[in-house]
A and B are shown apart, each in its own frame.
Chain A
Amino acid sequence: MYKIENLTKTYKQGRRTVRALDNVSVDIPSGQMVAIQGPTGGGKSTFLQMLGALDRPTEGFISIGDQVITELPDRKLSGIRSEKIGFVFQTFNLIPTLNALENVETALEGQGLSREVRRERSLEALASVGLADRADHRPSELSGGQQQRVAIARAIVKNPEVLLADEPTGNLDEEMRDEIMDVLEGLWRSKKLTLVIVTHDSGVAKRAQRRLNIKSGKVAEAA
């Protein structure tokens, strides 16, 4: 699925140059569930953003399938994000003024679907995370776990090839964490997704098929 070669990302922080990713080369096969761990500031989120075509590397390249995404213009990148990649964030990132159903619908924007089809698929996605009865609730009317399930529904409604989750259980208690991980794992199995989860939680990481450790911008396979 992902082929990453010599990936380097540097930032300017004042006069200092920060090397967030340092010559990273790694392959992630299609359908694999990968957990990425490492200390804060080690480059985990930067790596996930590279995988999600949200940022461009300073050096190296990333390909999804046979498409080198690091060379594509912004317009094409948003197309890839729209069709192939689903995102789940630690803070859920739902739009506060939209209800659950409308939040899920935002992911189908620009795909040329009719309103009815969008609505139907969004309801299905909400049902798949067990929230069909909360479709007209706004984020402020939902618990943290419910909000994250809406975010997961939004990520999977477009049937992506990849699901990228950045600390998806970071804001949840233990019970909710397991509930969310059950949902993600269930979707990964049923939809044969490639699932990449950035986490600090060893309990979450243990559920993955493969674990990568990122420290000081270097990636290593975890034992």
Chain B
Amino acid sequence: MFFSYLRRELSGRKKQTIIVATGMALAIALVIIVNSVALGVKSAQAKVLESVYGVGTDITVTLTPTPPKAGALRGQHFDIGAAAGTRAAGSQKVSTSRLTTGPFSSTLPSSNLATIQSTVGVKAAAATLKLENITFSGELPDQNRTITIPQGAPGMHRRMPGGDGGTQVKVGPDGGADGAGGSAFDIKSLSVLGVDPAGAIVGPLSSVTLTDGKALSAEDAGKYNAVVDATYATNNSLSVGKTIDLGGKTFTVIGLVTNSTSDSSSASDVYIPLDVAQTLSGNAKKVSTIYVQAKDSTQIASVQKSIQTALETTTVKTQADLASSVSGSLGTAATLLENLGLWLSVAVLIAAFLIAILFTTSGVTRRTREFGTLKAIGWSNGRITGQVAGESVVQGLIGGLFGIVLGVVGVIIINVIHPVLSGTASTSNFPVPGGGHGAPAGFGGGLPPGMKAATATTVTLDAPLTFTIIALAVGLAIVGGVLAGAFGGWRASRLSPAEALRSVN
């Protein structure tokens, strides 16, 4: 009886069923799409973060930088000695480079790594030193240019040193880049990451794939060997076996790597042994970031707390904290989903629930005589409530079913379109305005070294459909139906049979 009555009621009151189910379907579809896209954005954020922090990094530890004191901040500078470089045709050609952490960067004592490794719940930890290699190269006028004045030349009354061949006279510059005493120089920068050459399962190198040559190994410690990002290598005509000048030293390229987690470049242009990086940059026993992997995801919070307690002056961030640092269109999408998508789906869901409740209760009012009659012939309040609730739940489920179909279609459309988003994960403790991989560091302008601490990553958005999302949709449809049914059933059960019959008879 329950099901045949329910079926007849729903098919006999098509208009109400269609309106309630449509409202529910739209709400459920929106919930599915928003949740699916949110999952996709989260996954994309993770990809962006992995490109910077490596696969499996749960926590990063850095030192909170303190702003430099007034007057203490000194930009990049190069001292060009009079004897530097080579001279030819009145020009002095110079090329010099230095490795630096930059004025806005802070470093941790490398002993912190051991503290973290001994923390309960830590599976692995690795330290890196993030550096910037700034190269100054160009042509300056030769300040020491001399000319020879022959003996007996007009105006030469005094014998000058230089022998019989004439007299050497120091004169002003007329060479240089333009041949008239001008100068021209290039400032180039590239990011360099000092890594543990013995290899670590956590950290930036965990998200790269070797495409040529060999990776850094324990035997590379102390050697001027480098592994180069494949994109950077292509742009700068580098290959395995060639050399690259870093901090005034010549490094041999032993391998090329590419980002294995996204389409973009890896975390750094060049990777060198940590001890070499520390020595060349004058940061002995210093590191800039420690990457930590917890034994399991449930321990991340406790590990974060333990590290923070042990190393009070450090900044300890989890992936969730880091996700908020992802900017670009990916960051915009995440913000949009949080601020608009979530509330829009909640608003539509509430509206759908209210519509269902409204229609169900007004349906009960319309059916007063029917319920009064059923009570008169012996139906209990519970039986009538169950009937009303059952009808509402089925209406909700019908809506939920259509909502799932609609939502799945929406998600498929998103996955066919494959929107491309770019994300920039800031690895600096200072906010980085834009910036990109390989952006030039400033020399009297632009971003100072060390502030090129952001990596732009392009990812295609996939909106995954999970069992949880479908279960959530079905659950919401049932909740909507039960809510409407509970209100309607409560109203029906409160009807006095005598009054119900009296009001219509």
**Is the pair B505, A55 in contact by a Cβ cutoff of 8 Å?**
no
- 8 Å CB contact of B498 from A54, A82, A86: A54
Q: Please, which residues of chain B bring their CB within 8 A of the CB of A110?
A: 378-380, 383
A216 within 8 A of B: no
- Residue pair B380, A102 in contact (C-beta under 8 Å): no
Q: Contact check: which of B1, B12, B504, B505 meets A109 at CB < 8 Å?
A: B1
B8 touches A52 (CB 8 A): no
17 contacts between A and B (CB under 8 A): A45-B502, A52-B376, A78-B378, A81-B377, A82-B379, A87-B377, A91-B504, A93-B372, A95-B373, A97-B9, A97-B13, A98-B4, A102-B5, A102-B8, A105-B1, A110-B380, A154-B377
Q: Is the Cβ of B505 less than 8 Å from the Cβ of A90?
A: yes
B43 interface contact, C-beta 8 A: no
Known: A81-B378, A82-B378, A87-B376. A45 touches B4 (CB 8 A): no
Q: Which A residues are in CB contact (< 8 Å) with B372? A: 93
**A107 vs B4: C-alpha distance in the bound complex, in angstroms?**
14
Query: With the chains together, A110 CA to B2 CA distance in Å?
Result: 11
Residues facing B in A60-115 (CB within 8 A) are 74-75, 78-79, 81-83, 85-87, 89-91, 93, 95-98, 102, 105-107, 109-110, 115
* Smallest CB separation, B5 vs chain A (Å): 7
Known A-B contacts A54-B498, A97-B9, A105-B1; A83 and B378 likewise in contact (beta carbons under 8 Å): yes
The answer to whether the Cβ of A211 comes within 8 Å of any Cβ in the partner chain is no
Q: Which of A75, A93, A107, A115 contacts B380 (CB 8 A)?
A: A75
The reply on B370 being an interface residue by CB < 8 A is yes
Question: Given A82-B378, A93-B369, are A55 and B498 neighbors across the interface (CB < 8 Å)?
Answer: yes
Partner of B379 from the list A49, A109, A118 (CB cut-off 8 Å) is A109
- Are B498 and A106 in contact (CB-based, < 8 A)? no
Q: Is A22 an interface residue (CB 8 A)?
A: no
B221 within 8 A of A: no
Distance (Å) between the CB of A64 and the closest chain B CB?
14
State whether A91 and B505 are in contact (beta carbons under 8 Å apart), knowing that A97-B13, A102-B8 are contacts in the complex. Answer: yes
Instruction: For the complex of A and B, list the 3 residue pairs with the smallest distance between their C-beta atoms, beginning with the closest.
Output: A82-B378, A97-B12, A55-B498
Contact of A98 among B5, B13, B369, B383 (CB under 8 A): B5
A85 to B379, CA, bound (A): 12
Contact in complex: B374, A106 (CB < 8 Å): yes
Interface SS majority for chain B: helix
Q: CB-CB contacts of B71-94 with A at 8 A, as 1s and 0s? A: 000000000000000000000000
Tell which of A85, A89, A158 touches B501, judged by Cβ atoms closer than 8 Å: A89
Known: A97-B5, A105-B1, A166-B505. 16 other contacts (CB 8 A): A49-B502, A55-B496, A78-B379, A79-B378, A81-B378, A82-B377, A90-B505, A93-B373, A93-B501, A97-B8, A102-B1, A106-B5, A106-B379, A110-B383, A154-B377, A158-B378
A107 and B378 form a contact (CB under 8 A): yes
Please pick, from B5, B370, B497, the residue contacting A54 in the complex, using a CB distance under 8 A: B497
A93 CA to B379 CA in the complex, in Å? 15
Cβ contact within 8 Å between B505 and A45: yes
- Residues in A neighbouring B437, C-beta threshold 8 A: none
B375 part of interface (Cβ distance < 8 Å): yes
What 1/0 mask marks residues of chain B from 470 to 505 whose CB sits below 8 Å from any chain A CB? 000000000000000000000000001110011011
Most buried by B among A78, A82, A96: A78
The answer to whether the Cβ of B381 comes within 8 Å of any Cβ in the partner chain is: yes
Contact with B along A108-150 (1 / 0, CB 8 A): 0110000100100000000000000000000000000000000
B9: chain A residues at CB < 8 Å are 97
In the complex, the chain B residue whose C-beta lies closest to that of A158 is B378
- The residues of A that contact B1 with a CB separation of less than 8 Å are 102, 105-106, 109, 115, 118
Which chain B residues numbered 1 to 36 have a C-beta less than 8 Å away from chain A? 1, 4-5, 8-9, 11-13
State the CA gap A74–B379 with chains docked (Å): 11
> B residues within 8 A CB of A154?
377
B383 contacts which chain A residues (CB < 8 A)?
Answer: 109-110
Asked if A49 and B498 make an inter-chain contact with CB atoms under 8 angstroms apart, the answer reads yes
Interface centre among A81, A86, A155, by most chain B C-beta atoms within 10 angstroms, is A81
Smallest CB–CB gap between B411 and chain A, Å?
37
Contact A95 B370 (CB under 8 A): yes
Chain A residues with CB under 8 A of B12: 96-97
Question: Of residues 378 to 420 in B, which have CB atoms within 8 Å of A's CB atoms?
Answer: 378-381, 383
Complex interface: chain A residues within 8 A of B502 (CB)? 45, 49
Which one of B374, B377, B379, B502 has the highest number of Cβ atoms from chain A below 10 Å of its Cβ? Answer: B377
Q: Report the Cα distance A87→B500, complex, angstroms.
A: 14
Residues of A near B378 (CB, < 8 A) are 78-79, 81-83, 85, 107, 109-110, 158
